[in-house]
Amino acid sequence: MKKDPAAAGWETAFCAVSIGISLLAGACLYALDGRASYLGEWIAAMVSLPEIPRQSGIWTFLRNWGADFLWAYALYFALYLSMGAHPSARMRAAVWGSVCMIFVESLQLIQIPHLRCGTFDILDMVAGGIATGIAVLQLSIFQLIHRRRRDNEQR
């Protein structure tokens, strides 16, 4: 089965936009958190943004797990793009979804005390898993919509 060039362009653009939006949103989370991380310090030094009160429940949720979610979401699309042309888009989505899950979960597991510095959090693993699942589902749905449109145009 030969890959449709229009579909390849659409997938590339969709993945690139998903990566960009995720990384930009994550950078904003760190910038709004100010001095809580090295990245936050670097961004806060470049851009002056108001700090959000840390007592806010939604802010605590976004700061603790939103960044992990966004990172895993962007990683999935980057891995998906790295595979290049493949006849089965669904197989490619599933394979890179699995690779992304293994990678994200492994990075959390090496943060278990005495293995490597960092803070192990089971909810970081959950956030990464949910993000990867949503990314796979989202891309699969958009591929299905594109495929149906293409098939209808060919009739």
CA Rg value for the chain: 18
Q: Look at 7-16, 36-45, 57-66 and tell me which has the smallest mean pLDDT.
A: 36-45
% of the chain at pLDDT higher than 90 = 14
DSSP string, 3-35: PPHHHHHHHHHHHHHHHHHHHHHHHHHHHHHGG
Tokens 């949720």 correspond to what residue?
A: 61
Domain boundaries, the chain: 5-154
Average pLDDT over every residue of 6-12: 74
Position with higher pLDDT, 22 vs 28:
22
Q: What is the pTM of this model?
A: 0.75
Summarised one tens digit per residue, pLDDT across range 87-124 is 576 677 778 788 888 888 888 888 777 666 667 778 88
> 71 Cβ partners below 8 Å, 6+ apart?
22, 26, 128, 131
Tokens 């278990």 correspond to what residue?
A: 112
Element (H, E) at 59: helix 57-61
Q: Please report the pLDDT score of residue 1 as a whole number.
A: 43
